[in-house]
Amino acid sequence: MGATDDIMKMAKDNNCVVTTAMVVAAGISRGNIKYLVEKGMLEKSARGVYILPEVWDDELFNLQSRFKKGIFSHETALFLWDLTDRTPNVYAMTFPSTYNLTKPKESRVNCTQCKPEWHEVGVTAVKTPGGNLVKAYNRERTLCDILRPNSSADIQTITESFKRYATGKNKNIPLLSEYAKIFKMETKLRAYLEVLL
């Protein structure tokens, strides 16, 4: 099997997506990707991200591939966890406070920053509607984030999300309370939970 066959197999095994980083890590020259694009066997989806021509573009996966420090949060995480019916118009990502936001803002990402020690709290992998794995904050961290003063979530979104969480099978109230302590959201959280639980 040649290098181009290896790349095509990689794409097929990875939900029809292949990245330059994956190809280089496998010891294959990146020139092979260019060849496959010219032949119409791959399409460039974003910088360093290529897809098979027959699949839909996965914007969430593309953003994560480009901004590796970005973690899907707020309304985007609510959408990924099925805690809201609303599909976000603009995707929200959280970055460490030391990160330069110029590039993500140019890509129309709704950017939030947090203390570097808070950045990894509650990070987990979740599948996009396109079937690719991306990093997002878990349900509990996301619910705390949407209660924060800098959150753009409206009261209807917050209420709906908490209702869905309270009636869902995967709730973890002790973890939610622990995060509320870390992010100093205990009073606000109690107000919602008393109504729902």
| pLDDT band (50, 70, 90) for residue 118 | very high
pTM over 0.85: no
**What average pLDDT score do residues 23-32 get?**
92
| pLDDT band (50, 70, 90) for residue 197 | low
188 has pLDDT over 90: no
Task: Return the H-helix or E-strand segment holding 17.
Answer: strand 17-19
43 has pLDDT over 70: yes
- List of residues 6+ apart from 107 with CB closer than 8 A: 63, 66, 67
How far apart (Å, rounded) are the C-alpha atoms in residues 180 and 153?
17
27 has pLDDT over 80: yes
Q: What pLDDT shows up at residue 194?
A: 78
CB 177 within 8 A of CB 153: no
Q: What is the pLDDT of residues 54-99, one digit of tens each?
A: 877 788 988 998 899 999 999 999 999 999 998 898 999 999 999 9
CB 23 within 8 A of CB 12: no
Closest residue by Cα to residue 73 from 161, 8, 132: 161
Q: What pLDDT shows up at residue 149?
A: 82
40 has pLDDT over 80: yes
Using DSSP bridges, classify how beta strands 110-114 and 92-96 pair: parallel, antiparallel or unpaired: parallel
Strand partners, 135: 125
Q: What is the pLDDT of residues 155-182, one digit of tens each?
A: 889 999 999 999 988 899 999 999 999 9
Single-letter amino acid, residue 191: A
Domains and CATH numbers, the chain: 3-57 (1.10.10), 61-196 (no CATH)
Q: What pLDDT shows up at residue 163?
A: 92
Tokens 């969480």, residue located: 165
| pLDDT band (50, 70, 90) for residue 1 | low
Q: What is the pLDDT of residues 122-146, one digit of tens each?
A: 999 999 998 889 999 999 999 999 9
Tokens of 190: 């109690």
H-assigned helices in 81-138: 102-106, 116-119
